[in-house]
Structure 1
Amino acid sequence: MLFGTDGARGVANEELTIDVAMAIGRAAAEYLPSGARVVLGRDTRVSSPMLEAALTAGLTARGVDVFLAGIVPTPALSFLIRHYRADAGVMISASHNPPEYNGIKLLDGQGRKWEPEQERLLEEVMTRTEWSYTRHVGQVWHHEGIAVEAYRRYLLGIFAGRIPPLSIVMDVAHGAATETAPAVLQQLGAKVMVLHAEPLGERINQGSGATHPDVLRQHVLAQGADLGLSFDGDADRVIAVDGQGRIVDGDEILYTLGTGLHMRGQLPHNLVVATVMSNLGLEQALDRQGIRLMRTPVGDRWVAKAMAEHGATLGGEQSGHIIIKQWTETGDGLLTGLELLAELDRRDMTLAEAVAPVERFPQVLHNVRLPAPLTGPWQRIPGLSALVEEATRDLGDQGRVLIRPSGTEPLLRIMLEGRDVDQIEAWAHRLTTVVRDALESAKA
């Protein structure tokens, strides 16, 4: 299966080759209207221009016009699809993954990720050995520079006059945010120090960005800054650090934005959407404010779907993908960071003060490697369901058990959360042992 939880992804020139990229372009054209236009964006990875060329060839060969946006964050591409009134968009990025990886994400005319069923059908079309072509070849329009400036102007229009003059350390991870975040924050009046500011694709995400927030933490403390913001390679997620050096993840950002909207009567149904990975501390903190937390499977696409179905305007993931429906259909790290700053200014609070009510419960995560991806529900593993029920009863309302297969690797993830670290570690060990014993029995 080519498409996983977040588009097609793999090591460039191994799993993700120019042949695969061209086939995705040709197959995607099957689902677009005659004379369609598609916006292509990419991050800074060395392999991104190669894949851009292959996708462009596949799309234009079947009559689709391609607008090349150049290096842009994934959320900028979502905006640009609407800006150019395009029929779809394609983002070339492996998000937070190491430099040797790359990925291809397909977005619809509203800037939302394609549904899994659409991706499955596209994979079927890609297996064709013969393709029909006409004499009409799509045109290529070069909007590099122009496109990213349109996105910057869009954000400046939203946040002009709303951002406090704070000192901010920013980690852009040598990725797509290098083209947007520093310039926007500086133009809005913040005093900015930028880490990993060069758009170097061979170093993207390496010891930097949202997956390495300790780097940002050290610089915030060393500079005596008010706070820090850290983005991943395609800038669709953000992790913050408060002035005391405490890492603030997506859960606490959701709490700050959600309670702010609730205070102003702008949180429909008193509802915030998050995934099963969000900390129990977030759920309890929101509940104390009269706000309900709805959980979805892991993946921002499921958050977006639940938001649409239940009329929610705020949702996101612990990893820092936050969707603010007022402004966007997808996670946008920079927009989220700006909205967080605006909320702090509105309440005249520091970040540390805003997130203080969230008491994060300790979490223990064990990964059990499987011989192959799980084909059926994990409940079929002998003895596991009964032990999960026993652990759930023991933890009560002060903890929980979450078991789920990885969406990208042959792993079973066993996560426990609770106030008592010794208790959850003991249960995690017992659950992991049951799975490993079952795997050994299956080999015999």
Structure 2
Amino acid sequence: MIRTVATTPFTDQKPGTSGLRKKVPVFQQPHYVENFIQSIFDVLPAFKGRTLILGGDGRYYNREVIGKVIAMAAANGVGKVMVGKGGILSTPAASHLIRKYKAFGGIILSASHNPGGPKGDFGIKYNAENGGPAPEKITDAIYARSRKIGEYKIAEIAPVDLDRTGTVEVGAMVVEVVDPVCDYADLMESLFDFTALRRLFEKGFRMRFDAMHAVTGPYAKEIFENRLGAAEGSCRNFHPLPDFGGHHPDPNLVHAKHLYDEMMGPDAPDFGAASDGDGDRNLIIGKGIFVTPSDSLALLAANARVAPAYMTGLAGIARSMPTSAAADRVAHKLGVGLYETPTGWKFFGNLLDAGLVTICGEESAGAGSSHVREKDGLWAVLLWLSILAARGESVKDIVEKHWAEFGRNYYSRHDYEEIKTEQATRLMEGLRARLPSLAGTQVRGLIIQSADDFTYHDPVDGSLSEQQGLRILFQDGSRLVLRLSGTGTSGATLRIYIERYEPDPARHGLETQDALAELIAAADDLAGIARHTGRNQPSVIT
């Protein structure tokens, strides 16, 4: 039986760069989930009788929301729901299933790298028919609908057993519980030379992968240990837990410090990596060296031909605007286009669909290619392993040779988390007002060449995205970028991106924060960070 339930709108259901993210208790409010899901169905055209992909990262409240989505899909005329066993489905795996099975889209339940648990974060994201995050025209329509919604439809159904693969009928709709790993692992095997990677491990190559008790655990176990023959125990924390073991599933040097310490130790493995809550981010650490996400993107692009899927070359490279310009130099040498987009993977979708780019990445530990329409943590790890197998060199040697050829982009991101929204707004508005007058002035002995508020003109559909980050460019090629993040759930997160280009190999061995010290001080002088926020240091430095 289908019920139509009267409801009233919530005013806070505006999706951010990666869907709607709030604290779990917010989603647990009566009608909150249902309102948002109904708003999605209400604005999507022509999905009746078609397939919906559904899954999440296993965080707290995942199973309950999956039950609600299945019941509402049945009531709204969806033909089939494909859901990952146990409610598990990584974000890149969901993107692949949407594309492989020609679904009208997918609903992914995740707050990515944010912490989980009863008081932690939760998220709902709609991915479109191309497998990528819904474009702004859809998310704006969902938000507009959520502000007017007066009722939702839900079917009264028996609970679907998510722990058994197979097909069941739910009224006129079919629910198929699928192995969440198999299709994705097969895709990876089609992209990379698994025979060559098996030989790498047969020679005694050692790796450590930390799944952070998040979604990639089962995927990593199957791919690295079962299919490639990495030693048992190479994958750690591979059981997804609703609270991620009480840890923050963000693969950076703060939340994965134990991995960093191991890789810097005397008996370090040859290669270390980690992924985040929903499997779309990556952390790469070699023996004795951390590889920044910006450098990793450049290195992946420069060496991609070692993998069968990319042997014919790249169509182009795309990076988010705050990401360092290291990839730009690779694109120039390869003679391919370089596209600079706003933060948010959805902006890469048009470029990928149009065949303009093959590899994309962003400084927040995301990298991916045209195989799906999401960033993909395990894909990045596999491409790194392919490079190591082909070149027969250490991560450290490969990185240092890259710097010697292209120059080094010293780069860091300083995050000021959970500051008061009004403080962050005053800071940004104050600096934005000063931008037109900054060109030609000096700060800390650095001459400002230009300053602007980044506007993106999409070369495919002509759309315009304004106020995507404040940029201050210096005459020596250094750069500061300031923006407010859309991935948090409380207060505001101010991100400061600091970049300095150093072409001289003799100066490539500096400690990053030392190399950037003048620029870090300049950022505070220009924006008044301490004055506006009361913070004398960032919450996280990556």
TM-score band (shorter)? 0.7 to 0.9
| Counterpart contact for 2:275–2:283, Cα < 8 Å | yes
Residue 218 (str. 1) matches residue 261 (str. 2)? yes
**1:140-159 correspondence runs (5 A):** 140-144=174-178, 146-159=179-192
The Cα shift of 1:27 comes to 2.8
Residue 247 (structure 1) aligned to one of 278, 290, 296: 290
Q: Is 128-137 or 337-346 further displaced after alignment? A: 128-137
Report how far residue 290 of structure 1 moved: 5.8
Whether the aligned pair in 1 keeps the contact of 2:52 and 2:104 (CA below 8 Å) is: yes
Matched residue SS, 1:266: coil
Is 2:300 the partner of 1:257?
yes
Please state if 1:68 is matched with 2:83.
Answer: yes
Task: Report the Cα offset of residue 131 of structure 1.
Answer: 4.7
1:41 matched to 2:55: yes
Report matched runs for 1:402-413 at 5 Å: 402-408=481-487, 409-410=491-492, 413=495
Give the gaps of 5 or more residues in structure 2: 1-12, 157-169, 442-446, 450-472, 502-514, 535-542
Whole-Å separation in 2 of the counterparts to 1:434 and 1:226 = 40
Q: Which of 173, 176, 185 is matched with 1:139 structurally?
A: 173
Distance 1:299 1:315, change over 3 A: same
User: Residues 77 and 111 of structure 1 are in contact (CA less than 8 Å); yes or no, is this contact kept in structure 2?
Assistant: yes
Aligned pairs, number: 434
Question: Which of 229, 234, 239 matches 1:189?
Answer: 229
Instruction: State the match for 1:272 in structure 2.
Output: 317
Question: Given the superposition, is the C-alpha separation of residues 425 and 9 from structure 1 closer, same or farther in structure 2, using an over 3 Å criterion?
Answer: same
Quick one: distance in 2 between partners of 1:208 and 1:109? 28
In the alignment, structure 1 segments of 5+ residues that lack a partner are: 440-444
Secondary structure of 1:328's counterpart equals: coil
Report deviation, 1:236: 0.7
Q: Which residue in the other structure is 2:275 paired with?
A: 231
Q: Which amino acid aligns with 1:155?
A: M
Residues in 1 aligned to 2:532 and 2:39: alpha-carbon distance in whole angstroms: 44
Give a deviation string over 1:253-294, Cα, whole Å, max 9, x none.
2122211247966022xx421112222455456656766643
The reply on whether 1:82 has 2:161 as its aligned counterpart is no
Structure 1 CA distance for aligned equivalents of residues 38 and 292 of structure 2: 39
Question: What do the CA deviations read for 1:305-345 (whole angstroms, capped 9, x no partner)?
Answer: 344457111111122211211x2222111122112211222
Contact 1:256-1:355 within 8 A present in 2 as well: yes
Could you list the per-position Cα deviations for residues 60-118 of structure 1 after superposition, in whole angstroms to 9, with x for gaps in the alignment? 21121322212121111111123333221111111100111011111122211111110
Q: Distance in 1 between matches of 2:352 and 2:213?
A: 32
CA 1:77 to 1:434, structure 2 compared with 1: closer, same or farther past 3 Å? closer
Match for 2:360: what amino acid? G
CA distance in 2, matches of 1:205, 1:234: 16
Q: Is residue 135 of structure 2 the alignment partner of residue 115 of structure 1?
A: yes
Deviation at 1:233, TM superposition (A): 0.7
Change (3 A) 1:354 1:265: farther
Residue 427 of structure 2 contacts residue 529 of structure 2 at CA under 8 Å; is this kept in 1? Answer: no
Identity of aligned residues (%): 22
Contact 1:22–1:57 (8 Å) recurs in 2: no
Q: TM-score if structure 1 supplies the norm length?
A: 0.86
Q: Which residue of 1 aligns with 2:422?
A: 371
**Cα distance in 1, alignment partners of residues 234 and 143 from structure 2:** 44
Question: Structure 2 matches for 1:8-27, cutoff 5 A?
Answer: 8-15=20-27, 17=29, 19-27=31-39
Q: Distance in 1 between matches of 2:360 and 2:24?
A: 32
- Structure 1 distance, partners of 2:155, 2:30, is 22
Distance 1:311 1:171 in 2: 33
- Bigger fraction of residues in strand: 2
Moved more, 162-171 or 125-134: 125-134
Residue 50 and residue 62 in structure 1: after superposition, are their counterparts in 2 closer, same or farther (change >3 A)?
Answer: same
Greater Cα offset, 24-33 or 86-95: 24-33
- SS for the counterpart of 1:44 is coil
